[in-house]
Amino acid sequence: MNSDKIAERVCRVENLGIALGGDQPIPLVEDVSFEIAKGGYFALVGESGSGKSITCHSMMRLLPFKPEFKGRIVIDGQDVWSLSRSQLIQFRRKSVGMVFQDPLAALNPVRTIGSQMLETLRLYYPSARADELRTRAIDALKGVHIPMAEQRLDIYPHQLSGGLNQRVMIALAMLGDPALLIADEPTTALDMSVQAEVLDLIDEMRRKNNLTVLLVTHDLGIVRDRATHIAVMHKGRLVEQGPTAEIVNAPKAEYSRELFNAASVEWPDRETGKLRHNPLALTFDDVNKTFYSTARDRKAGIGVPAAKSMSFTVHRGEIVALVGESGSGKTTAAKMALGLVSPDSGRITTHASEQSGSPKLNVQMVFQHPRDSLDPLMKVDDQLHEVLKVHGWRDAAARKAHIAQITQDVGLGAHVLERRPTYLSGGEAQRVVIARALLLKPDVLIADEPLSAVDVRIQKHILECFQRLRERLGIAILLITHDLRVVFEIADQVVVLRNGEVIEDIPVSLFTDGKRHEYTQMLIDAMPGKTAVQVHQIEPHGAVATNGRI
C-alpha cells in the first residue's frame, strides 16, 4: 500500500485480541482487524455481547479490567497500547473523543454543565482567564445547537432532556478537536426525531471538521442512512466488512443475512379495520391531566398538561400503538390506565371479559427495562410463584401448571425458571416480565418501550411473542413506543400524541399514505433507514427479492 493511502488512515486495528486473564483465559475479542480513512463514517454492528463496546473501549484503553492483549491499535499515528501514562492522557485529550450511550451516567449529576465544561477547557487552555473559558464553553454549546447556551451552563444534567444531554456530551468530546470520534450507541432510547437531530449533528461535525467517526450500534436503520462502511461482529469476531451499500444489499456471511432480515420491516398494508368490531377492552373518554410543581402553581393554574381531552379505544385482540416524542403524554396515559395516576377529569374504563381475573388487576404492565423490574437475587420460578401466592393461589400444583402454561405461551423453556435474572439474555428477561404480567389473566397488556434497548433479532422474538398472545389469548395490547418500525411491524391502530393531545387515531395501513398531520409526517420522516426499509428476505446467495418500499 502506498504512503498516500497510509497517511489517509486515522485508525488502524490489527489482529486485535482481548481476553480475561486467569489460568484459563476467556477470549472476548479475537483476530479483529479494520481501518478507518480520514473523514470516514465507520459503523460497528452486531448483537449484545458481540464485542462491539469492548473493541471501541480498548481503542482508548478504557477497559474495566486488565486484559490479555494481542495485536495493535494505531490512532492518529500513535500506537495506543504502547503509550506511557502521561502520553495516554494527552492522547485521550487530543486524538480521540467519545460519546457514551447514557449521557446521564457519563455526566456528573451534582455539578452544573458549565462547571464540567470549564474543568475540561482548563486542561486545554491552562493560562486562559475564567471569562475566556466561559466564552469558549458557550460557543461550544452553540456549536451543537443548544438553545439558550449561556443559561444552560448553570443547570444540572437532570434538568435537560436526553437529546440535550447527548448534545452536551458531543460538545465535550469535540473540545479537543479530536481526529476520531467514537459514538457508542449514542441514540439508544431517544425519540425518533431526537435521534435524527443527534445523528444530523454528528454528521455536521464530521463535515465541518473533516472528522472521522466510529459508530457502535445495533440499529441497522441508522447504519443504512449514515455509515460509509460497515463491519459486522459476532461472538467477538468480525464476520464481514465493506462499503455500506455492498453489505446491506448483498451480505455474504450467513449471520449478516440473518441480522438484516431481522431488521426488515413489513409494509403496513395488512387488513386491520376488522378488529375495531371486537368488544372494547380499554376506553379513554375526554381525559385531562395536568401536573403542578407546587401548591402555589396549582392555585395559579400554572402547570404542565400531560393529557388534554385525550380519547381513544383499544379493542380485544387489538394492538394499539401509542406514539409521540418524550413529554407527549404516553407514559402518563399508561399510568392512568393502571390506576397509578388519577385523571383530573374524564373517564377511563377497562371492560372485563368472562375469562379475566380480578377487575382491579385487569390491566398489567410490561416495563421498559426488564432487569430493573425483576429481583436479582430470586430465581425466576420463585418470582412467578410469589405473584400467584400474593393473589391467593394456595395450591402449589395449580401454580406450577399455570406457570408452565404461561411460560410456554411466551416461548420460554423450563430451564429459564431455574435461573436468576442476571443469567438471562435481554430477550429472555423481557419475556419473563411478559409472563409475570400474564399470570393474573389480564384483558389489557401495556408495554412501555419494551424493545428500546434490545437487538433486532431479540426484537423479532418479542414481537412474535406479542403476536402469539394476541392470537391465542385474545388479549389487547397498548404498545408505547417511539420506534415507528415496530409500529409498522405489529400494530393494528396508531394513536399519535403531542403535548397530551391525540393528533391522529388511524389504522396502521393509512399511516404512510402521505395525507397525515404535519407532526405525524415529521415522525415518519425522522425514522432511521426510512428510504431503505424494504419488505424483503435476503436470499441464500445474496440476491435480494424486493416487494415494496417505505
* Distance of alpha carbon 382 from alpha carbon 379, whole angstroms: 5
Residues 6 or more apart whose CB falls under 8 angstroms from that of 372 comprise none
* Stronger pLDDT, 323 or 513, i.e. the higher one: 323
Average pLDDT over residues 76-90: 93
Tell me the pLDDT tens digit for each residue of 375-409.
999 999 999 999 999 988 999 999 999 999 999 88
Residues 6 or more apart whose CB falls under 8 angstroms from that of 239 comprise 232, 233, 253, 255, 256
pLDDT at 48 over 80: no
* Global confidence as pTM: 0.74
pLDDT grade for 537, boundaries at 50, 70 and 90: very low
Q: Can you list the domains of the chain with their CATH numbers?
A: 106-177 (no CATH), 273-362+442-532 (3.40.50.300), 371-439 (no CATH)
Q: Is 124 in contact with 172 (CB distance < 8 Å)? A: no
Average pLDDT over residues 132-149: 92
Q: Is 88 in contact with 43 (CB distance < 8 Å)? A: no
Closest CA to 52 of 200, 188, 166, 161: 188
Average pLDDT over residues 306-329: 91
- The reported pLDDT for the residue numbered 270 is 56
Helix (H, G, I), strand (E, B) or coil at 249: helix
* Distance of alpha carbon 355 from alpha carbon 358, whole angstroms: 10
* Distance of alpha carbon 499 from alpha carbon 477, whole angstroms: 23
Tell me the pLDDT tens digit for each residue of 436-480.
999 988 999 999 888 776 777 777 778 888 888 888 888 999 999
φ/ψ of 231, rounded to 5, equals -125, 130
Q: State how far the alpha carbon of 244 is from the alpha carbons of 6, 226, 241, 248, in Å.
A: 22, 9, 9, 6
Average pLDDT over residues 27-49: 91
- The reported pLDDT for the residue numbered 266 is 59
Sign of the dihedral defined by the CA atoms of residues 526, 532, 535, 538, in that order: negative
DSSP code of residue 342: -
